[in-house]
Structure 1
Amino acid sequence: MKTIKDYLDSLFLNVPITPETKKAKEDLLAIMEDQYHGLLEEGKSEHEAIGAVISEFGSIDELLQELELSRSAFDEEIWENEIELDEALSFWDKVRNFSLFLSAGIALCILGLGMMLFLANSLNEMIGLLIMFILIALGVGLIITSSLSYSATKKKLNDRPYSQQVKIEASQQAENYAKSFRVGLVLGIILCILSVTPFFVKIAIGLPTGLSFLLFFASVALGVFFIVYVSIIYTWFTKVAEGTFFISDEDEPGPRASQHMYGDSAESIRLFERLYWPSIFVIYMVWSFLTRSWGYSWLIFVLGGIFEDYFLEKLKRK
């Protein structure tokens, strides 16, 4: 079954994601699964059934034509300046470095608090504060330097389409990394849950207070490290495998990505996103000055957040 799904995924790699193509893919998968199970019931082996199902279906153009979806509808997409495999591999190396330094930086900041409480209770409060500031400074330094380099790399790739080779490689990388992601995520969650154990040990056998805090923050720091590290890497593999354009900022996709996602509504949505919150702020200031209602006029921002999703959904439907 996985072979059939992978085959269908490969056929649709460079087909833009629209409600029609998504429905077509789901329908085709259902048809192929039914035929596969039917062949198994007839006595075919698993390999024979898979081969028969795949051989019966033609190229992606024939498949789309059978479902009354002409590929010419997609020819308006401009697939120039594609992200090639060497660029993707270089970017994934950058992602690994960024996730390592970011998770390590966060962990150092958390560990700094633990060291401060440990030293304040066991040695000297000033030394504890000094060690905390050193660890936090190192952590923030790692976060800032890695983030700057990571952002610069994303900017170079922003709003460019993925080549078919890149999407195939991303699917394979995501599949290979899935086990590491699950292990890292579960391990991180377990460490965060078990971080309270030192306080129970303190009550039971009288563990020193400072050491209890140090073990607590160390466990949390290590747990957060694993969660952040594996999540960033796995997220980028899946984003590339499932996406069509590289989107550096999910809140502000580039012109080509917007056009691909929203069609004729792209320009309206981009204009709305640029003007909406500045307009809300102007309304807030004008209303507050005119009515002197500073105590509750801030609710405009709450209402703005609620209505933003409503307006965006209306624009997307258009």
Structure 2
Amino acid sequence: MKIIRDYIEVLFLQVPISEQTNQVKEDLIGNSEDYYFALIEEGKSEKEALGIVISEFGTLDEILAVLGISEEERKTSPVAEDFLMDDALEYWQESRKFAFNLSFGFLIGFASLAIVPFWGSGNGGVLTTLSALLTCLLALISLLFIFISYKEQRQRIKEIKKRTISEKVRVLAFEKMEDYHRSYQFSLCLSFISYGMSIPVLFILIELFYLPIAGVVFFFALCGLGTFLLLYASIIQREYKRLSKNKQRRKIKWWHRLKYDEEIYWVIVTIFYFLISFMFRAWLYSWLVFLVGYVIAEILMKNKATSTYN
């Protein structure tokens, strides 16, 4: 309920910023909205339910007392600032950099694996040494890209949680997420194609052309490309979604409460694809896992949208 959220957001503008106060605010919003919908189910009108909920709020002094914050601490501590349009545009720009750096880190990691077959081709000579050193170097660079980018993004997310996201930002975020959805789906399709082609290319180069090293190299290259596209598109879509969330709680079906994270979901689907392929040697038709996964993803996204957005 937007009125309840706005009321509490305004009330907490005078409360010092901390993880405790942010958590109390979100809990209070959630409990109040649940109470509101419970009153509606009991037969109260919307105005009556809203009046009952708001009338039961405590004063600011009572909230500060519950949190253990003195009047002096309230005056000297920073209060929540609005997360405005310029802040959102800057955040999305930095998030795109994060998406690229993280995805590129995984791509370099796959590149390091693609060099491993050259270890044996050098017969313990210079080529073996150089390929081993290059593998270690690329693996280190991959870890640095992943660790540094993840740490920076995590800090940005923490800063967002300390601020109040304006309604204009939420609307813009939802519109951008809808506009980006086509590009997101296109990237997923390309990712699935890369994963799906990796095994046939490996098989063709090894069995038909007797080029095992080239087969392994192209296999990891296609897997790396698929992972890059999957992560890059999923992260951008997720960061638009992060600012568009209203966190409005309603009485919804139990399956709407299933948590769905696109990035984790597609990683699980990919792992399942390789497990099915290796266990049953079903490389010719195991790629259908991605088609089934896509259908399930669309269903989960619609269910999540029902319980998340206005």
Q: TM-score, normalised by structure 1?
A: 0.54
Displacement of 1:71 in angstroms is: 6.1
Quick check: 1:118–1:211 contact (8 Å CA) kept in 2? no
Runs (5+) with no aligned partner, structure 2: 8-28, 61-78, 250-310
1:131 matched residue in structure 2: 134
Matched, 1:232 2:235: yes
Runs (5+) with no aligned partner, structure 1: 1-8, 28-63, 245-259, 262-318
1:82 matched residue in structure 2: 82
**What is the SS of the residue equivalent to 1:243?**
coil
Number of residue pairs matched?
Answer: 201
Displacement of 1:198 in angstroms is: 2.1
1:208 matched residue in structure 2: 211
1:95 matched residue in structure 2: 95
| CA distance in 1 between partners of 2:37 and 2:128 (Å) | 61
Displacement of 1:188 in angstroms is: 0.9
Distance 1:103 1:74, change over 3 A: farther
Distance 1:160 1:72, change over 3 A: farther
Matched, 1:140 2:120: no
AA in 2 matched with 1:230: A
Quick check: 1:107–1:225 contact (8 Å CA) kept in 2? yes
| CA distance in 1 between partners of 2:52 and 2:38 (Å) | 18
* CA displacement, residues 256-283 of structure 1 (integer Å, 9 cap, x when unaligned): xxxx98xxxxxxxxxxxxxxxxxxxxxx
The 10-residue stretch of structure 1 (168-177 or 148-157) with the greater mean CA deviation from structure 2: 148-157
Distance 1:138 1:74, change over 3 A: farther
Task: Report matched runs for 1:139-178 at 5 Å.
Answer: 139-178=142-181
Larger-Rg structure: 1
Which of 179, 185, 189 is residue 186 of structure 1 equivalent to?
Answer: 189
Task: Report matched runs for 1:235-246 at 5 Å.
Answer: 235-244=238-247
Q: Percent same amino acid at aligned positions? A: 20
| CA distance in 1 between partners of 2:4 and 2:193 (Å) | 39
The 10-residue stretch of structure 1 (147-156 or 217-226) with the greater mean CA deviation from structure 2: 147-156
| CA distance in 2 between partners of 1:228 and 1:74 (Å) | 43
1:112 matched residue in structure 2: 112
Distance 1:165 1:143, change over 3 A: same
Displacement of 1:69 in angstroms is: 3.1
| CA distance in 1 between partners of 2:235 and 2:37 (Å) | 26
* CA displacement, residues 178-222 of structure 1 (integer Å, 9 cap, x when unaligned): 111111112112211211122221344224111100000000000
Distance 1:106 1:145, change over 3 A: same
Which of 213, 219, 223 is residue 222 of structure 2 equivalent to?
Answer: 219
1:306 matched residue in structure 2: none
| CA distance in 2 between partners of 1:24 and 1:222 (Å) | 52
* CA displacement, residues 157-189 of structure 1 (integer Å, 9 cap, x when unaligned): 224331101101111110111111111112112
Distance 1:217 1:203, change over 3 A: closer
Quick check: 2:108–2:138 contact (8 Å CA) kept in 1? yes
